[in-house]
Structure 1
Amino acid sequence: MAHAAPASGARTPSARSRTTDVFSERAHRAAEWTTPVALGLVYGYWVAANNRSGGPITGWNLLLGFVSAIVFAALWTGIHALAPHMRRELHALLWTAFAGCAFGFLYSQTGATVLRSVGMSLAISAGVFLTLFYRFYTQEDAAGKRIR
């Protein structure tokens, strides 16, 4: 069967499949610090809410929430900066450890036993690892460079 020859000036497949960057460089720079701050505030509120179990809001409860938010945002920022320089297996493992620890601490604030908190965080970690490993394995080469 005959195929049509490409017309002169036709675009190459790699140029056609490249996605456009909708946001400006300024928006990307703003997202670098607003994302961890927003996620940290949500996490800190969630920790404080789990800790008080529907009771009154106290000063210690507010302190726990804000300290949790600051630690979460700092760790997220550090991992976000460090992880892309690692191989895909370690990249997925680092995010998995972060997600497991974050969930384990969050779950432990509900008053659950340590054994149950560890078991639940291991289950969450397994799902996160499988998801991230698949994503990084299909989106990166063995050296950790994104496949474009």
Structure 2
Amino acid sequence: MAQATSGIPGKAGRTALPDVFGARSHLAANRALPVVLGLVYGFWAAANRRDGGPITGWNVLFGFVSALAFMAVLVGVRAMAPRLAREPHAVAWGAFAGVAFGFLYSQTGASVLRSCGNSLVVAASVSAVLFYRYYTREDAAGHRVN
């Protein structure tokens, strides 16, 4: 039985998706993503901290400092993690997600033990999912396919 191929080496049986955005669009998105996510994270942290109370100058400052810290760590993990092997790569993203979640959760007034426990669950879950993803997307020699 004959099977259609995509014509792209290494992509037999799969059709390649067209790249609808140019290189400039991808570059702009890569630079804007940490800023947008950081601002959302900072707003979320400030909202958790004020707990429905009035917006104050200290609350706004807390939100911006949280956003800057989140952006800096996100940029660092995005630069460092792809250079790592699959296990540390997954653990780096898991640790980032766990710490980010734990900090947001701690701003709600929850206990330190509950914040740490929940952030460990988030970190372990993200690490496990990403390890599976990275493990299934490499060849037998351990090189990333895509």
Greater than 2 Å deviation, 4+ residue runs: 3-6, 10-20, 140-146
Aligned equivalent of 1:73: 71
Give the 5 Å matches for 1:43-62: 43-62=41-60
- Unaligned ranges ≥5, structure 2: none
- Unaligned ranges ≥5, structure 1: none
**Mapped pair 1:137 → 2:135:** yes
CA gap of 1:31–1:143, structure 2 versus 1, over 3 A, is farther
Which protein has the larger Cα radius of gyration, Structure 1 or Structure 2?
1
Kindly provide the CA deviation profile for residues 43-93 of structure 1, in whole angstroms up to 9, marking residues without a partner as x.
000000000000000111101100100110111111111111110111000
The amino acid that maps onto 1:130 is A
What is the TM-score normalised by the length of structure 1?
Answer: 0.87
Q: Tell me by how many angstroms 1:138 deviates.
A: 1.0
Q: RMSD of aligned C-alpha atoms?
A: 2.3
CA gap of 1:142–1:89, structure 2 versus 1, over 3 A, is farther
Aligned equivalent of 1:11: 7
Q: Compare relative contact order (CA 8 Å, sep 6+) and give the higher one, 1 or 2.
A: 1
Q: Tell me by how many angstroms 1:4 deviates.
A: 5.7
What is the number of residues matched between the two proteins? 143
Contact 1:86 1:144 in 2 (8 A): no
**For residues 144 and 43 of structure 1, what CA distance do their matches in structure 2 show?**
35
